[in-house]
Structure 1
Amino acid sequence: MTGIIGIACVFVMVFGGYLAAGGKMSIILYSLPFEMMMIGGAAIGAFLVGNAGPAIKHTLSDIKKVFKGPTWKAADYRDLLCLLFELVRLARDNPVALEEHIEAPETSSIFARYPKIRKDHEAVGLIADTLRAAAMNYDDPHQVEEVLDKRMEALRHHAMHPAHALQTMADGLPALGIVAAVLGVIKTMGSIDQPPEVLGKMIGGALVGTFLGVFLAYGIVGPFATRVKSVVEEDQHFYGLIREVLIANLHRHPATICIEVGRQNAPHHVRPEFTELEGALRGLRQQEAA
């Protein structure tokens, strides 16, 4: 919602101020299709040249994050801590029974209670692979921590590509606007024998290219890149919480302590309250007892 409000504010303030100062939209509207064709078309072409097919699809998919915000909400962090509590406790009490859950999460009764998390292949992979490594006695916390750090860095690098691609496009748009403006000036010089009122409109149309390049760069595409980056960084905290809990588990801390370590490492605005989480864990125990 804030993304839509922000875009509306940009357009209203820029063009509203222009009209309030006595500007006329006729020259802009006449030149806009041609300038947009040159600037937007060149920007899209450069984007296609600079990115592979999967990266292009990834970027187009991530644009919706500008409007939807982070994938993981406060309730998801609570559910993740409950899921990890169940798995860590089962790993301590019955390692053999744990195997069916980490080898086939799609059919696991534990993962089934948390469908949103189960749909995220990266989260499930982090959990299953780390618990599997512990079951294979690959339980040196420092080694596992190093493996997890490298995996999460690779995940973050991949997730950040759309933001980098959009920022690269934003950086190039002002220069493309100058290209369009120069072409407009060339066109104007070819009509130098025309009267001043005609030349004035032609020069004004050429300057629309400079305006459009800068406007798109700093008013639309650049903020999109910044927003995508901030959303990706926030979603990475979800995977960081998995890391903290599973590393604490390898240090053989009690399951409740492992979960508390994860809770305290969650960002403040999505961190479950201690009493809220305790109530959720108590509900799990009651379900198992029943």
Structure 2
Amino acid sequence: MFLIIGYIFMCACIFGSFAVHGDLRSLWQPLEIVIILGGAIGAMIVAYGGNPLKATFKALPTVFKGSAYNKAFYMDLFALLYELLQKVRKEGLMSIEGDVEDPHNSPLFSKYPKVSHDHHVVEFVTDYLRLMVGGNLNAFEIENLMDVEIETHHHEVEIPAQAVNKVADGLPAFGIVAAVMGVVNTMQSLHLPPSELGPMVGAALVGTFLGILMAYGFIGPISTILERKASEGTQVFNTIKVTLLASLNGYAPQVAVEFGRKALNSTERPSFSELEEFVKNAKNK
């Protein structure tokens, strides 16, 4: 939504201002666009071919969607963690073995579809609950393992943002390539009258303009959005980490969930009373 609004506002300001004294048709140079975008995308394929390229193209449609990790998601996540930890506290660690081994058929996970449909989150939760159930690891060892996994995950989900950012970095350079090629073409046509040489020089300069505009106006902001989405996913794992470690250190489920709530940004963080009421209502369903 904001992506489209931003694009429209930017184009209206840039092209509208130019149209006051210039002819917009002079900026329409399709071959320049082919040179600039083709060169930048080709370079990206060379650098990120294979799985990184697939991940990049898969991530691009998400820039048009809002964040899946909003306040409602975190409310469901905390309610799920509370119920799991409460069950452990009352019935012992072995009581959640079925939920951990088969979360898709677990009554607890099924109550919270926003969480259960995110296989990365479900896998992270169940993996560490499984270690708590069947392992002999202490809280310090589990925390170190969580940190390693979170860091690895963050590096992986940042690849699309890095790839798009490299494209944005390369666009101005390919714009110069297009401009130089236009100048070369003009120099080969010096026998033509000035009335014909002028449009050729203008078309060459449009290459530099388009490269810079596409880099900083269109592609660069997309890499920023993808980077922010990667950070949002990492924050979910950090929230789960804080909650589970608090429980592993002996805190009651209510307190462990409060630890996790404090790890959130203010824009997604529910109030203490809001979360407490939601958890109680969810538990009684």
User: Counterpart of 1:16?
Assistant: 16
Counterpart residue identity of residue 25, structure 2: S
Shift of 1:128: 0.7
User: Contact between 1:166 and 1:222, CA under 8 Å: does it hold in 2?
Assistant: yes
Counterpart residue identity of residue 3, structure 2: G
Q: Which deviations, in whole Å up to 9, do the C-alpha atoms of 1:158-206 show, x marking residues without a partner?
A: 1111111011111111110011111101111111100011111100011
User: Counterpart of 1:4?
Assistant: 4
Q: How far apart, in 2, do the equivalents of 1:249 and 1:97 lie?
A: 16
User: Counterpart of 1:34?
Assistant: 31
Shift of 1:285: 4.3
The 3-state SS of whatever aligns with 1:42 is helix
Q: How far apart, in 1, do the equivalents of 2:178 and 2:114 lie?
A: 47
TM-score by length of 1: 0.94
Counterpart residue identity of residue 209, structure 2: F
Q: How far apart, in 2, do the equivalents of 1:137 and 1:62 lie?
A: 35
User: Counterpart of 1:50?
Assistant: 47
The 3-state SS of whatever aligns with 1:269 is coil
Q: Which deviations, in whole Å up to 9, do the C-alpha atoms of 1:72-95 show, x marking residues without a partner?
A: 110110100000011111222222
Q: How far apart, in 1, do the equivalents of 2:283 and 2:199 lie?
A: 76
Q: How many residues align?
A: 284
Shift of 1:260: 0.8
Would you say 1:256 and 2:254 are equivalent positions?
A: yes
User: Contact between 2:94 and 2:133, CA under 8 Å: does it hold in 1?
Assistant: no
Q: How far apart, in 2, do the equivalents of 1:108 and 1:85 lie?
A: 15
Counterpart residue identity of residue 249, structure 1: S
Q: How far apart, in 2, do the equivalents of 1:227 and 1:284 lie?
A: 33
Equivalences for 1:68-107 in 2 at 5 Å? 68-94=65-91, 95-107=93-105
User: Contact between 1:139 and 1:250, CA under 8 Å: does it hold in 2?
Assistant: no
User: Counterpart of 1:183?
Assistant: 181
Query: Among residues 128, 137, 148, which one is paired with 1:130 in the alignment?
Result: 128
Shift of 1:141: 0.9
User: Counterpart of 1:241?
Assistant: 239
User: Contact between 1:69 and 1:231, CA under 8 Å: does it hold in 2?
Assistant: no
Counterpart residue identity of residue 4, structure 1: I
Change (3 A) 1:248 1:61: same
Counterpart residue identity of residue 223, structure 2: A
* Percent of paired sites with the same residue: 37
User: Contact between 1:263 and 1:272, CA under 8 Å: does it hold in 2?
Assistant: yes
User: Contact between 1:81 and 1:259, CA under 8 Å: does it hold in 2?
Assistant: yes
User: Contact between 1:118 and 1:124, CA under 8 Å: does it hold in 2?
Assistant: yes
Counterpart residue identity of residue 175, structure 2: G
Q: Which deviations, in whole Å up to 9, do the C-alpha atoms of 1:13-62 show, x marking residues without a partner?
A: 11111112x11122222xx2110111111111111111133222221222
Shift of 1:3: 0.9
Q: How far apart, in 1, do the equivalents of 2:174 and 2:66 lie?
A: 30
- Unaligned ranges ≥5, structure 2: none
Q: Give the root-mean-square deviation of aligned CA atoms.
A: 1.3
Counterpart residue identity of residue 24, structure 1: D
User: Contact between 2:168 and 2:214, CA under 8 Å: does it hold in 1?
Assistant: yes
User: Contact between 2:172 and 2:212, CA under 8 Å: does it hold in 1?
Assistant: yes
Would you say 1:265 and 2:263 are equivalent positions?
A: yes
Change (3 A) 1:26 1:286: closer
Query: Among residues 158, 162, 165, which one is paired with 2:163 in the alignment?
Result: 165
Counterpart residue identity of residue 174, structure 2: L
Counterpart residue identity of residue 28, structure 1: L
TM-score by length of 2: 0.96
Greater shift in the superposed pair: 64-73 or 2-11: 64-73
Q: How far apart, in 1, do the equivalents of 2:134 and 2:95 lie?
A: 14
Counterpart residue identity of residue 80, structure 2: L
